[in-house]
Amino acid sequence: MRSLSLLVALLVSASTLAFKRDSFKTCDQSGFCRRGRALSARAHAAGESWQSPYYIDPDSILPDPTGALFTATVKSSIHPQVSFSLEVRAHEDGVIRVQMDEVTRFRRHYNEAASWALVRDPPLSESGHIRWLVGKKETRTRYGWKGTTFEAVVQYNPLKVTLYTNGEEQVVFNGRGLLHMEHFRTKEDTQPLQIEGAEAEQVPLHVNNAAWFEGEEQDAWWEETWSTWTDSKPKGPESLSLDITFPSHPHVYGIPEHATNMSLPSTTGPDATYSDPYRLYNSDVFEYLADSPVGLYGSVPLMHAHGKKGTVAVFNAIASDTWIDVGKKNDSTETHWISESGILDVFILPGPDPASVFYQYARLTGTPMLPPLYSIAYHQCRWNYVNSEDIRAVQRRFDEEDIPVDVFWLDIEYAEGHKYFMWDEKTFPDPVEMIADVEAKERKMVVIVDPHFKRDSDYPVYQIASDLDVLVKPKSGEGEYEGWCWPGSSSWIDFFNPKSWDMWVKLFKTKSIDGSWSWTQSSENVGIWNDMNEPSVFNGPEISMPRDNIHYGGWEHRDVHNINGMLFANQTYNALYHRSDPPKRPFVLTRAYYAGTQRFAAIWTGDNLGTWEHMAVGVKMVLSNGLAGMVFAGSDVGGFFGNPDPEMLVRWYGVGVFSPFFRAHAHIDTKRREPYLLDEPYKGMIKDMLRLRYAMLPIWYNAFKESSWSGMPILRPQYVMFPNDEQGYGIDDQFYLGSSGLLCKPVTTRGATSASVYLSDAQVYYDYFSQTAYHPSASKPTGRTITVPAALHQIPLLIRGGSILPTRERPRRSSPLMQHDPFTLRVALDVDGSAKGELYLDDGEGFGYQQGELVWRAFQASTTHRNDGKARREIVVRSDDLAAAVPDMVPSYVPANAFARGLEEADVRVERVVVVGVDARPVSVSVSVVLLGGEGGTRALEWTYEADGGDQAGVVVVKDPAVGITKDWAVVIAF
């Protein structure tokens, strides 16, 4: 056992030190990354004479009977005794999958990453429109999708895979000859040959025909020492190198998580921004730098590439430590992926536009979950609320100050000795009553559960896992790995082991099953926070687990590191799903993640600092995560570390209000900074911002619904909205909220009083608060920059003309209390006098929406001119049943479903319609309602008009049309 003093030192160092570069490897300190970069350097030095040693044996090509798949044998000229199997698939949505693995019975390369990430094995093209044609020098297929012609070509010698769009190269694998799958070998095979010299001395004879490609040295093949740790590497060298070039795309995005620009800066070449590659290695990084390629908490090996000729992406299903070099060359981007282990398993997503790429990726790894409604409201957290009375006092202060909040959080100090699930009876003597007091105000609690279990036989959770033999093992494969984390001596659950899954479900039951231990001191509504699941190990290499630890199936930790944390969150979601009957939508927040995590959990950007730089880069990180499917994301408001001054804190709330995941959180050493503690005017500013978030919850919920169906990001950067506008490709400090038409430019600099907003299209935009209109000019209708007011109390927020926004304007203390509140419709007319929008509603809690228990309305506004003897103009705003119009999307829907009837019984209605962009005073406003059987009536409505003047748009406010939100109706504004 380690001494208590060592444990204290570990905990202190983990919680108080700033980012320490020497706690994490650079590429130069990583053997396989050194080898990969050295390979690239040799290729560069050789120039055009360089040729990949990998080639396809043409006689081995075997097409599948469907024609959508073929297999082949790949050989290497430097290791002719080694063979590799190649399989290339064409899927029904045009995605091309390329897999290559070594053919050997000696050992296995890890080949299960895709099985954890994918929702299912993607179906092959069965319609016959994608068929591989085998030729003498290449195998190719040509197919069309969305009016675009794609062609995939697999060249034999050297092996190269190219995707063309309308005859233009889009993606090239191994075009630079950097493909290298290090084959398995024994130490004996790699020893130099010996001959006897004239004096009977043993003289090594170095015969290395692969040196031109692999290098002369066996660099870290069999063992690697870094700092005080030695990695035994029992399988020897097994890394994978692959170059992927995007010849027509100057911008690449994705591969989170890094604190950097959304359009990834270069890491190679004379103008490189960084000297190290981007790293994908889930890591517990305290106080990370605000501008760095260092790998952070999550790893999604998905890269988008975009340019004026279209959008493509690659998903590299690899789970091990991976470094990615990015180089820019003219209008192309060259990337080099270097992974420690695993097979080659890459999906080419052909696009041809951003929306198509999101759709294709969502079909592979799944769409984001539709979360419970409360979870997209405001969360209040800190490390730590010290006792149950503290929680009650915080809730009471929020109510006294009339500040809305939905969720209170508990960090690790709730647990006795950091034994998760076990309440500290001294500070939380009444957890069930405390939770009930919070839920009585229609709020929820979230409690942290980390993956390390204190090694204590009196701790039932550890003992259950130990008895089931579901804990990670040391490199010997026997016993239980012991490391150090918050509880001291700890072991880690191995969620790759299926036996752990039922165990985890039983632990979260609020009533014991068969007398086994479960978390009875909880409730069916408590959300769970999974932290430290990279995994973080305080006394491990790079603050993580040794790479030669053993997981279920005999795989080493190096093989599965980036998936490890995802499984923890996935199984927590599964446990919460099975906690109640009928099930409620779980809320899980995870720090570590991988491709596919979006189906189960929200994420946040980790241990940020209370600085302007971290505030700004947090916006970019949330956008980047959204491009990689992780749409439910946000940064800790105020910064986890530090004590932001009032100006910074107000601005950070301005960022948080427009983040999908909106939580204020703080380190244990920071001052308390709940919003009610601020002096005026800052407290009032934050209250107004929080009320804005709550008023806009219908807009946010609709955006989450869109994402859960299509895979589109919730926050959409400029290039996603306007893929043909080159000026917008690198913009990452403003974004659109779903398809709502809202454009937000958060202020992330001190002392700002105005902000510059870039507008791509020739459309009118309106200030959300003042109705100021920003019309396109005749001289520069597109690609213009406008200046908007941005005093401390203001959030630069515009409505794009052509949008209709549903809001709920009545202040409430939590979101469930808004469920029967009326709606305001804000109609922002476009340059043609039209607009459209949507409203999606369900119970926000369960899964009834999957059986059609929902309301989904389409709002449309149009301007028409009539000539019935006298010229007249009308603006008509109407509501129609969108769910009934798209039965394929909601097949179980019926208009009179139970949820819709409940809204009708509660008289949930539209209480106000605000039409912005009206250029003249109406003569009348009326409403007609369509009743059952098609009959209805028309009645006059009260209204006001504020004329346009200067930059102010004309506004018609229709007072209480009293139309049910579930009904078909039309408001007619006549001129």
Q: How far apart are CA 41 and CA 360, in angstroms?
A: 34
Is 280 in contact with 640 (CB distance < 8 Å)?
A: no
Q: What share of the chain has pLDDT > 70, as a percent? A: 95
What is the per-residue pLDDT across 83-139, written as a single tens digit (0 to 9) for each?
999 999 999 899 999 999 999 878 999 999 999 999 999 999 887 788 999 999 999
Confidence of residue 909 (pLDDT cuts 50, 70, 90): very high
Q: Which residue has the tokens 């020739």?
A: 762
Number of neighbouring beta carbons within 10 Å of residue 465: 24
**Is the pLDDT assigned to residue 2 strictly greater than 80?**
no
**Is the pLDDT assigned to residue 192 strictly greater than 80?**
no
- The token pair at 652 is 């950070």
Active-site residues: which are they?
531, 534, 607
Q: Which residue has the tokens 């380190």?
A: 667
Confidence of residue 797 (pLDDT cuts 50, 70, 90): very high
What is the per-residue pLDDT across 564-575, written as a single tens digit (0 to 9) for each?
999 999 999 999
Confidence of residue 949 (pLDDT cuts 50, 70, 90): confident
Question: Which of 11-20, 621-630, 747-756 is predicted with the least confidence, judged by mean pLDDT?
Answer: 11-20
Q: How far apart are CA 362 and CA 263, in angstroms?
A: 21
Name which of 307, 275, 280 is nearest 291 in CA terms. 275
Confidence of residue 901 (pLDDT cuts 50, 70, 90): very high
Q: What's the pLDDT at 13?
A: 41
Angle 499-507/460-468 helices, nearest 10 degrees? 160
Is 633 in contact with 626 (CB distance < 8 Å)?
A: yes
**Is the pLDDT assigned to residue 398 strictly greater than 90?**
yes
Instruction: Tell me phi and psi for residue 363, to 5 degrees.
Output: -65, -25
Q: How far apart are CA 549 and CA 555, in angstroms?
A: 8
Cα-only R_g, the chain = 30
The strand pairing partners of 772, in sequence order, are: 952
What is the per-residue pLDDT across 413-442, written as a single tens digit (0 to 9) for each?
999 999 999 999 999 999 999 999 999 999
Q: Is 104 exposed, middle or buried (0-12, 13-18, 19+ CB in 10 A)?
A: middle
Handedness of CA 261, 622, 723, 731 (dihedral sign): negative
Is 955 in contact with 916 (CB distance < 8 Å)?
A: yes
Name which of 708, 749, 752, 716 is nearest 734 in CA terms. 716
Q: Which one is predicted more confidently, 835 or 19?
A: 835
Amino acid at 258: H
Give 806's contacts (C-beta < 8 A, 6+ positions apart).
Answer: 698, 699, 702, 823, 824, 825, 837, 839, 859
**Is the pLDDT assigned to residue 6 strictly greater than 60?**
no
The strand pairing partners of 949, in sequence order, are: 952
What count of residues does the chain have? 975
Give 810's contacts (C-beta < 8 A, 6+ positions apart).
Answer: 818, 821, 822
SS3 18: coil
**Is the pLDDT assigned to residue 199 strictly greater than 80?**
no
Instruction: Tell me phi and psi for residue 960, to 5 degrees.
Output: 40, 75
Q: What's the pLDDT at 5?
A: 37
- The token pair at 701 is 């919920």
Q: How far apart are CA 129 and CA 477, in angstroms?
A: 49
pLDDT mean over 307-316: 97
Handedness of CA 369, 374, 378, 382 (dihedral sign): negative
Amino acid at 657: V
Q: How far apart are CA 547 and CA 544, in angstroms?
A: 9
What is the per-residue pLDDT across 329-347, written as a single tens digit (0 to 9) for each?
999 999 999 999 999 999 9
Q: For the stretch 189-218, what's the b/e string if a residue is b when 16 or more beta carbons lie within 10 angstroms of its beta carbon?
A: eeeeeeeeeeeeeeeeeeeeeeeebbbeeb
**How are beta strands 602-604 and 588-590 bridged, if at all?**
parallel
Q: How far apart are CA 484 and CA 539, in angstroms?
A: 6
Number of neighbouring beta carbons within 10 Å of residue 106: 10
Q: What's the pLDDT at 866?
A: 76
Handedness of CA 103, 104, 105, 108 (dihedral sign): negative
Confidence of residue 20 (pLDDT cuts 50, 70, 90): confident
Q: Which one is predicted more confidently, 412 or 931?
A: 412
Handedness of CA 673, 674, 675, 680 (dihedral sign): negative
DSSP H or E run through 253: strand 251-254
Q: Is 92 exposed, middle or buried (0-12, 13-18, 19+ CB in 10 A)?
A: middle
Q: How far apart are CA 633 and CA 622, in angstroms?
A: 6
Q: What's the pLDDT at 106?
A: 80
Q: How far apart are CA 21 and CA 159, in angstroms?
A: 39
SS3 975: coil
Q: How far is CA 945 from CA 278, 774, 865, in A?
A: 56, 20, 20
- The token pair at 224 is 């690697």
Instruction: Tell me phi and psi for residue 689, to 5 degrees.
Output: -65, -40
Q: What's the pLDDT at 627?
A: 98
- The token pair at 390 is 């503290």
Strand order in the sheet with 742-744: 715-716, 735-737, 742-744, 797-800, 765-767, 773-774
Our CA dihedral for 528, 532, 534, 540, rounded to 10 degrees, sits at -160
Q: How far apart are CA 814 and CA 398, in angstroms?
A: 10
**Is the pLDDT assigned to residue 9 strictly greater than 70?**
no
Q: Which long-range contacts (CB under 8 A, 24 or more apart) does 144-148 make?
A: 145/93, 145/94, 145/350, 145/352, 145/356, 146/352, 146/353, 146/356, 148/310, 148/350, 148/351, 148/352
pLDDT mean over 388-407: 98
What is the per-residue pLDDT across 296-305, written as a single tens digit (0 to 9) for each?
999 999 999 9
Number of neighbouring beta carbons within 10 Å of residue 167: 7
Q: How far is CA 126 from CA 92, 121, 595, 609, in A?
A: 7, 14, 26, 52
pLDDT mean over 22-40: 97
- The token pair at 233 is 């590497």
Confidence of residue 35 (pLDDT cuts 50, 70, 90): very high
Question: Which of 22-36, 44-58, 179-193 is predicted with the least confidence, judged by mean pLDDT?
Answer: 179-193
What is the per-residue pLDDT across 729-740, written as a single tens digit (0 to 9) for each?
999 999 999 999
Mean per-residue pLDDT over the chain, rounded: 95
